[in-house]
Amino acid sequence: MTIFSLSGVMAQLIKVDQEVFGMDCAPCAYGLERGLKKMDGLESVRVSLNDGKAYLKLASANELTLQKIQEVVKSNGFSARNAEVALKGELLKEGNEWRIKVNGETFKVSDDTTSDILSKLNPGNIQLKGLVKDEEDGELTGKWNFRIIEIL
């Protein structure tokens, strides 16, 4: 029980490279950068027009969610698409599905994760890097499909 509580506290996003569609100009990037910087729990933010991405490093203790990040993108008039996310938390197996919960969000390990990586998964605390697939901006629920690309 103590171990579960500790793992719950440490579960968090570490790094998010958020793909942003529709951002074409310097004031667009400026506005998005400023909007993202208003969120608590960030260590750094960099916005690239040419990559069409916002690169976020999160503070060691943060309560940020991917949904919150994508809502800021939307409120700036752009579309949040796929994201590369590094996170840590407790990996759980429910039936045949692997899940990890971070700050109230659920990252469900998707079927297209390679079998090599899937074979290395064990329940418990873990750090992962993976791709979160695009969800409709207006229908975000905090439940994500997560294709693991690396166990950190």
Binding residues vs another protein (CB under 8 A) = 19-33, 35, 47-52, 74-79
Q: Which is nearer to another protein, 75 or 114 (CB)?
A: 75
* CB of 51 vs another protein, minimal distance in Å: 7
One-letter amino acid at 82 equals N
Q: How far apart are CA 108 and CA 17, in angstroms?
A: 18
* CB of 99 vs another protein, minimal distance in Å: 30
Q: Which is nearer to another protein, 23 or 128 (CB)?
A: 23
* CB of 25 vs another protein, minimal distance in Å: 5
Q: Which is nearer to another protein, 12 or 76 (CB)?
A: 76
* CB of 23 vs another protein, minimal distance in Å: 6
Q: Among residues 133, 148, 6, 2, which one has the least CA distance to residue 87?
A: 148
CB distance 126 to 147 below 8 Å:
no
Q: What are phi and psi of 75, to 5 degrees?
A: -70, -15
With 0-12 CB in 10 A as exposed, 13-18 as middle and 19+ as buried, what is 2?
exposed
* CB of 96 vs another protein, minimal distance in Å: 35
Max Cα-Cα span within the chain: 51
Q: How far apart are CA 56 and CA 46, in angstroms?
A: 7
Q: Which is nearer to another protein, 9 or 25 (CB)?
A: 25
DSSP letter, residue 113: S
Q: Which is nearer to another protein, 81 or 88 (CB)?
A: 81
